[in-house]
Amino acid sequence: MKTLITCLLLITGFSTINAQVNLSLGLKAHYTFDGNVNDQSGNNNNPIFNNTSFTTDRQGNANSAVSFNGTNTYIQIPNAASLNFTNQISICVWVKPLGFYQGTCHGNSIVMKGNSDNLPGNYLLRFDDNFFTNGTNCSNPVVDVDHQNFYGRGTNPGPPGYTPYIQPGQWYSVIYTYDGSTARLYVNCELKVSTPAPGLTFTNSAALFLGKLNNATYPYWLNGDLDDVRIYDRAINVEEVNVLGGCSTLIGCQDWLNTPSAGSSVKVGDLDITGNQITVECLFNRTSPWSGNYLYAGDLVSKHSLPSDVNYLLRPNNAEITTTNGYYSTPPVCLIELNKTYHAALVYDGSQLKFYRNGYLLSQVAATGNLVTNDLITTIGDYAFNNPIGTNFQGVINEVRIWNIARTQQDLNTYMSTYLPNPSTQMGLLGYYSFNSLLNQQGYAAWNGILNGAGTINASNPNCLLIPDSCQRPAVLSNIINSYTPVLSYIPCNNSIQVEDASEFGIGDTVLIIQMKGADIYSTN
C-alpha cells in the first residue's frame, strides 16, 4: 500500500560549530611569495612564473613579494577543479600599484580567471578609471590616473566611484567576496561596495592569471607588486577580512592573566557603570576543577558583594546584575569544559539581561531599572568583596572589556577572537585589559590594574584557540529515543503540532521531523 507518514525522532547531543576566524577553511589557492613559490593551500595549484622578479613585501621583507613590470610579466596557474566554484568565492590580495595601464579600456588586472570579461563563470580583481569616467574609459584614450578604483564582478558603485582613489606606491589590502547573492569589496578592511548580484557563478575552463588578462586585445598588464594572494571557495566574514587586512590581530597564546589560586586577581579601581546599559566580556580558559554548582566556576569580572549590590558579575556559566527594580541572574546553561578557551559576555539593554558564550545567546532573563552602583573595586579573576570565598576563577583570562552600552551580538562576534582596534575611540568603552601589561588600554589611567596574590600577567595559554560552539556535547547513544509517532495536525495559532502519542517526548527535547511521500510499507503479518 502507498501512504504518507510524518514521524518524529528524538536526536540529542548535536552541536553547532561556527568559527569566526578560520583562514584555512575553504582555502583553495594561497601564494605567499616568501621563499616557497608554490601553492600553500595544499591543493597543488602551483604557479608558472613568466619574466617576474621578487621584491620587498609590505612588511619590509626582502624577496617576499612579486614585481610585475606592466609590459610582459605575469603568473599562470593551470585550470583545476579546485579553482572553480559554484556560487561563493573570496579573492584576497595585497597589491602596490606603481603605474597604470595605458592601453584600450585602461584595465589593470590583478587576478583573472577567464579570457574575456563577458564570458560566464569568470572571476577577477582589477583596477581602472571606469567608475569615475562613467564607463567612457574604453572610448577615451587618456587614462585618468587620479581616479582609479579596485573592483570585482558585481561591485559597481557607479560614478564617480568611491574614495580615496588609488595612490601609486602604496600597499592595499583588497578583498572581494560573493556569498551567493551579494558582491562585496573591501579596501584596507573598509567595505567600499556591497551590491546585490544574484546568480553569479565562478566556473570556467580557463587558466588563472596574476598580472594580466589572457587576451591579446586587452592584456591589462599590471604594473606593481603583489603579495599574499588567497582564493577561497566561500565568502569570508568581516572578522577574517580584518585579520587579512591587518586591521586586527588574532589573540595569541601569550600575554594572558593567570589566576592559579584563591586571592589571585587584578583589581582595576571603582569602575561603576550607571544607567540601564552595560556589556562586560572576556576570554577565559578554566584549568582546574571546581566544587559546587555552576556558580562556582569562578568570578571572571566582579563588582559585587551580595545580590543587593551587583553592579555587574560575569561568570563562565551566567551573568548577574542588580538594578533599582531588583536582582537578576541568567538561568543555568551547559557547563564549560576544562582546558578550553571560551568567550563570555554579559549584556543588559534595559529590558533583558543576556548571557552570551562564544557568540551564542545561551540564556536571558527579563530585567528593568537602572544599575545599582557600589564602592567596591572591580576585580578580574576573583570575588570583589573581602576575602576569597571559593568563587575565585582558576585559570587564564584575557581581553577584558567593560562598556557602558549594550553591545549587539554582531558587535561581540566581530572582535571576539581579535584585539580591539583603536580602543581609545571605541564608543562606550571604559575599561580594556590585554595582559601584556596592567594598563587600561582604553586610556583612562585611573582604572589601570594592580596584581594581587599569585596572579601573573604575560602568562601563556596552551589552548588559546577559540573554537566558537554552543554547548558542545558528545552524542550519547543511550539518549536517542528510537521511536516515532505520526503527526496529526499543525496548529498555526501557537506554531505547534499535534501528535498521536507524545508520551516518550519531554519538554526541551530536540526532535527531527521527517516527511516521506509515496513510501511503500509492506507487512508480512
What's the rounded mean pLDDT across residues 466-471? 77
For residues 364 and 440, membership in a common domain is answered with yes
Final residue in a domain of this structure, among 244, 272, 297: 244
Final residue in a domain of this structure, among 201, 219, 244: 244
DSSP for 315-381, written as a single string: -SS-EEEEETTEEEEPPP-PPPPTT-EEEEEEEE-SSEEEEEETTEEEEEEE--SPBPP-SPPPEES
Domain membership of residue 466 (yes or no) is: no
Q: Which residue range is the domain that position 122 belongs to?
A: 27-244
Domain membership of residue 433 (yes or no) is: yes
Q: What average pLDDT is seen over the chain?
A: 88
Domain membership of residue 250 (yes or no) is: no
pLDDT in tens, 204-221: 999 999 999 999 999 999
Cell numbers 583570562: residue: 397
For residues 453 and 491, membership in a common domain is answered with no
For residues 402 and 366, membership in a common domain is answered with yes
For residues 193 and 65, membership in a common domain is answered with yes
The neighbouring-strand residues paired with 250 are 418
Q: How far apart are CA 107 and CA 243, in angstroms?
A: 28
For residues 452 and 516, membership in a common domain is answered with no
* Range with the poorest average pLDDT among 290-294, 320-324, 337-341, 441-445: 290-294
Final residue in a domain of this structure, among 428, 459, 490: 459
For residues 446 and 333, membership in a common domain is answered with yes
Number of domains in the chain: 3
Domain membership of residue 469 (yes or no) is: no
Domain membership of residue 109 (yes or no) is: yes
Predicted local confidence at residue 498, as pLDDT: 74
Domain membership of residue 21 (yes or no) is: no
For residues 87 and 149, membership in a common domain is answered with yes
Residue 508 reports pLDDT greater than 60: no
pLDDT in tens, 159-175: 999 999 999 999 999 99
Residue 483 reports pLDDT greater than 90: no
- How many CA atoms lie within 13 Å of 257's alpha carbon, on the beta-carbon side? 33
- Give the pLDDT band (50/70/90) at residue 10: very low
For residue 114, give the nearest of 126, 104, 122, 106 by alpha carbon: 122
Cell numbers 558542545: residue: 472
For residues 190 and 263, membership in a common domain is answered with no
Domain membership of residue 441 (yes or no) is: yes
Cell numbers 533583558: residue: 352
**Amino acid, res. 275:** G
Q: Are 303 and 379 in contact (CB under 8 A)?
A: yes
For residues 179 and 326, membership in a common domain is answered with no
- Give the pLDDT band (50/70/90) at residue 112: very high
In 3-state terms, what secondary structure has residue 309? helix
Domain membership of residue 464 (yes or no) is: no
For residues 442 and 488, membership in a common domain is answered with no
Q: Are 88 and 126 in contact (CB under 8 A)?
A: no
For residues 228 and 201, membership in a common domain is answered with yes
* Largest Cα span, the chain: 87
CA 253 to chain centre: 18
For residues 206 and 308, membership in a common domain is answered with no
Count of beta carbons in the 10 Å neighbourhood of residue 276: 19
pLDDT in tens, 41-55: 999 999 999 999 999
Predicted local confidence at residue 1, as pLDDT: 31
pLDDT in tens, 236-281: 998 889 889 988 777 889 999 999 998 899 999 999 999 999 999 9
Give the domain CATH number at 348. Answer: 2.60.120.200
